[in-house]
Structure 1
Amino acid sequence: MDNRFNFSVPDICDDHADKVQVSNLRLQSFGGNDTFSGPIETINCPDDNSLVKEILNTPGKNRVLVIDAKGVSHASMVGDQIAAKAESNNWNGIVVNGYVRDTEVLKTIPLGIYAIGSIPKKTDKHGLGSIGNDVFVGGILIQSGNWLYIDSNGWVIAKNELKF
């Protein structure tokens, strides 16, 4: 059975308390999949989603992109076109410390997408940001290669894939 989409974050917290960090950042689900997991790729890009688009145009290999947009609330990091490309490139999901747009379309895409909220404005495009660096989101230091587990209850980070 594929456990990437079949688990409960509260059960993970109960069964693997010594192996996970629990985030204190409450996120909303905007994608077609509310439950997902996978190895993480990180990106740091406040105010500019150029690198988000670039990386999601590459093979996802069932990874989860964690976008640290520093909670910027005046522009969206992910919209319908970027999300559709991520799904077609085999990304399991996207977690945004920031905002998304095109929410009515995002729900129809079979991809996990969590964010703080939505805003209709797009970002500026200047190619700013960095991929693969450590990010600090929701009280947790997150590194590329860590594993993310998320559902409607919340989200946790583990150093490695959990067995259950």
Structure 2
Amino acid sequence: MDSLVERLASVQVSSLCDADKGLPVVDSAVRALLPGSRVVGPAFTVVAHDDHLPVLVALRLAEPGAVLVVATDGHRRAVSGELFATEARRRGLAGIVVDGYCRDVSGLRTVGLPVYARGSTPMAGTTRDAGTLGDPVRIGGVEVSSGDLVIGDDDGLVIAPAERLAAAVAAAEGIEAAERALLRGMAGGRALPSMTNLDEHLAALAEHRDTALRFTL
């Protein structure tokens, strides 16, 4: 698992999605609150309905390297903020994903832990509902079980079982190698279309033949 996490940390989410176009992509409204964030790690699932007590308990139980994945089921109060992000960083967690709201965005910038959410609100939840930990949850339209791998960057989040991502990572690495070659070509003055089979692809489309746009480097 550690080697897979390391490999996933080196590729973009978009490359994984190109490698496996059926990967479960979280609703794009759940986004990085800190631009430039990148998160990779196994999910530790939490249900918190306008109450941050479950998240506090999860911070004590989650293993280092885990990503707290918090379902709020449409509730609107903040269930995490600067203190929780600070504790998550202290304990070695990889990040926090909330299908809902956080607060203390200025403090989150200082902490630097990757935090993904639908947005921020100053109104915090209560501390009276213990919620549930470790059960399957639905996050941004994606079904998530504890132990599924979370991969996120500025483009968005993918959450899937490790074996699904293991099957896609080599192709994603290949896609990024090809894209680096294309960038080098353009830096050297070559036109992007000239490094693809664009004309052949267009001709095949016009004739209703099976075809795919490819890099030709």
Identity %: 28
Q: Does 1:93 align with 2:95?
A: yes
- Paired amino acid for 1:65: L
Find the partner of 2:33 among 15, 30, 33: 30
Which structure shows the bigger proportion of residues in helix conformation? 2
Find the partner of 2:60 among 34, 39, 57: 57
Specify the SS of the correspondent of 2:100: strand
Q: Distance in 2 between matches of 1:136 and 1:59?
A: 19
Find the partner of 2:145 among 143, 146, 150: 143
Which structure shows the bigger proportion of residues in strand conformation? 1
CA deviation after TM superposition for structure 1 residue 55, in Å = 1.4
Q: Distance in 2 between matches of 1:26 and 1:43?
A: 19
- Paired amino acid for 2:44: E
Corresponding residue number in structure 2 for 1:122: 124
1:60/1:151 CA distance change after superposition, 3 Å: same
- The CA deviation string for residues 106-163 of structure 1, in whole angstroms up to 9 with x for no partner, is 0121311010010111111113310000111212111001101111111111210534
- The CA deviation string for residues 77-100 of structure 1, in whole angstroms up to 9 with x for no partner, is 111111100000011010001111
Q: Does 1:132 align with 2:134?
A: yes
CA deviation after TM superposition for structure 1 residue 71, in Å = 2.9
RCO greater where, 1 or 2, for CA within 8 Å and sep 6 or more?
1
Residue 100 of structure 1 contacts residue 119 of structure 1 at CA under 8 Å; is this kept in 2? Answer: yes
Corresponding residue number in structure 2 for 1:16: 20
User: TM-score, with normalisation over the residues of structure 1?
Assistant: 0.89
User: TM-score, with normalisation over the residues of structure 2?
Assistant: 0.68
Instruction: Spell out the pairing of 1:45-84 with structure 2 (5 A cutoff).
Output: 45-58=48-61, 60-73=63-76, 75-84=77-86
- Which structure 1 segments of 5+ residues have no match? none
Residue 31 of structure 1 contacts residue 108 of structure 1 at CA under 8 Å; is this kept in 2? Answer: no
> What RMSD over aligned residues (CA atoms) do the two structures have, in Å?
2.0
- Paired amino acid for 1:97: D
Q: Distance in 2 between matches of 1:35 and 1:104?
A: 18
CA deviation after TM superposition for structure 1 residue 30, in Å = 2.3
Specify the SS of the correspondent of 1:104: helix
Specify the SS of the correspondent of 1:157: strand
How many residues end up aligned between the 2 structures?
A: 162
